[in-house]
Amino acid sequence: MADNRRTKHLIFFTKQMNYHKFFNEDKPSESVQTNDSASSDLLKKRILSVEDDADSRELLEFVLADYELVFAGSVSEATRLFESENFHLCLLDNRLSDGEGIDLCSKIRAFNQTVPIVFASGAAHKKDIQKAFDAGAQSYLVKPYFPEELQKIVKELIGQTV
């Protein structure tokens, strides 16, 4: 079953990236190249990504390659990381092995009122989305989503915290 789910994720993601390449191949690149990779790593914004699915983590590493991603697979691990390290944004799943992203969002808000919080979750009910916003989230993406959507939201929200 896990292989089948992985295949579906990768097929969907590949289709999205091919779509993006097709419509953007004639556009000039907006990225600035630097020769010093160490200095560019120092400038990367840090994102705490709370995701317990290995395939989703792999996709996030690709989609958010311009950022330093720190992964947590549970509410308890994410809480420990958030309280001991600095992050520019938190990306949360709603359903985790030891709790819900909504509860984690509330914990993060109690600790830090300004860090942007984005949900990327398969929980698509209006009540789930409303609970996330009530807990302090700035954005909520329902899986599957277009990678460009996540990139745009992250870029906008991290830009607000600089």
Read off the CATH number of the domain in which 93 is found. Answer: 3.40.50.2300
Q: What is the pLDDT of residues 27-80, one digit of tens each?
A: 343 333 334 444 455 578 999 999 999 999 999 999 999 999 999 999 999 999
pLDDT at residue 159, rounded to an integer: 85
pLDDT at residue 91, rounded to an integer: 98
Mean pLDDT on 90-117:
96
28 vs 90, more confident? 90
Domain carrying residue 58: 41-161
Alpha helices in 64-112 (DSSP H): 75-84, 101-111
| CA angle, residues 122, 62, 28, in degrees to nearest 5 | 120
pLDDT(132) > 90: yes
Q: How many domains does the chain have?
A: 1
Average pLDDT, the chain: 81
CA distance 148 to 55: 18
Q: Is residue 20 part of a domain?
A: no
Q: Is residue 36 part of a domain?
A: no
